[in-house]
Structure 1
Amino acid sequence: MPDLLIHFDQPEHFALAIAALIFAYTAFSLVGFGTALIASGPLAMLMPVARVISLLALLDCIGASQRGWRACHAIALPELKRLLPGMLLGQILGVTLLTHLPAAWMALLLGGFILSQGIKGLRQPAAPQPAPSAIRNALVGGVLGGLFGSGGFMYAAYLERALADRDAFRATQAVLIALSTAWRLLLCLLAGSLDTSVALAALCLLPTLFIGQWLGQHLDLRLTRPQLTQVLNALLLLAGISLIWRHVAWF
């Protein structure tokens, strides 16, 4: 096991990270995003936050590429072209910020971001929301993807409104995530946060991806979307609180 996973004197942290990754890729198999939101908090207990982003980018790229390849016939190319430029530009800004922020601030920002997503997801919308902007969602999703490793929910929020066909939504989202993570990997490599140790860690943790995908395929017909959403948002709350509590002592 690579030295990047450092806290083996606390096996409960490692067990939590493994469980979080399996759940994250189960959710990813069902809805096409959410891996960093779920798994980044527990993984930050084992490695620096900047390396967490690179590690999850590697795993996400593999998972999304598999998903997109299986459904390539249903991709909505016009919507993909609308989102792609903003996503690329946003990630450049996000990765630049990632490499210049102190580790403690990164951990607190990441915890706050995860916590905010959980709170937002658990609140019932007071009124129907207006149709999202492709440019805005792509840029914000790109920045969040480069900075926190998770901008996929911004792309999904746009695509779910723009595409009535569920197969087209899932296929287009998968390809966009695959391209997003591949671009993020290149930026992380140029920024110096992706190296051999990160690749080895991803290889060691790859079984969690396959287990999660298998579970997701079997849960797809048994778990309703509202049920999955409630579980996901509750875990986001716990993950965000845990990460903030752990790193607030740094200050």
Structure 2
Amino acid sequence: MMIGVDEIEVVVGHRERTTLRVGDMFLKVDSDPARLDVEVEAMARAPIPTAEVLWHKPSVLALAALPGTALGILGEPSPASPAAWAAAGTAVRRLHDAPLPPWPGKNQDAIAAHLDTECDWLAANDVLPADLVARNRRIAEAAFRPFTPVFIHGDLQLTHVFVDGDEVTGVLDWSEAAPGDALYDLAILTLGHEEHLTDVVAGYGTGVDLDVVRAWWSVRSLSAARWLIEHGFDPDSPGCEFEVLRSQ
């Protein structure tokens, strides 16, 4: 029995992983213990604020709550200031300038092959018009070019970046961290919030090819759609992945 806890909140839950809030503690339960191992190691190596690890056992990770609030939610206007978005860009640059983690990142050929499989599924099942899928697949091609790998977060959704005023207080959910393309992180951070891309780039600095950022928006939105649908999420909600594809 837990003492002093009014309720348990399910923050996110699906077949692969579930995150619960218990008072000021978050419990992450993952079907793949290796993902949590990566998360703990990545947070230890990251040169930016992360949540405090309270304890870690196979398949379960307990984290302290971060101060502040998330940059926003996909599909809703962000309550954060332009300066807060710029601070997020600065934090991402510090991460990208850090030494690479020792484990491998995702293979670009595998990412492209998965993208093609998902595009075929979207068109064949009439989830999206074939011409919309084809147009975004052409846009996505710009992401598949030579690049120098950096230490990326790998799932830098705006809900994972917490700020207090104009300061970044922490970044959550590091299970996809690995060597990878810096512009992928910037794309995921600004997905559905193109209006803040300029702010993020102002904080991040040089080396940002906006066409590649937009290409990663298409890659992400096309590749994630089936997973989102099968796990109870709606990529056709206002401001979400399908709207991103239509706006490209």
Using the size of structure 2 for normalisation, the TM-score is 0.27
Using the size of structure 1 for normalisation, the TM-score is 0.27
Greater strand proportion: 2
User: Of the two structures, which has the highest relative contact order with CA contacts closer than 8 Å and spacing of 6 or more?
Assistant: 1
Greater helix proportion: 1
Structure of higher CA gyration radius: 2
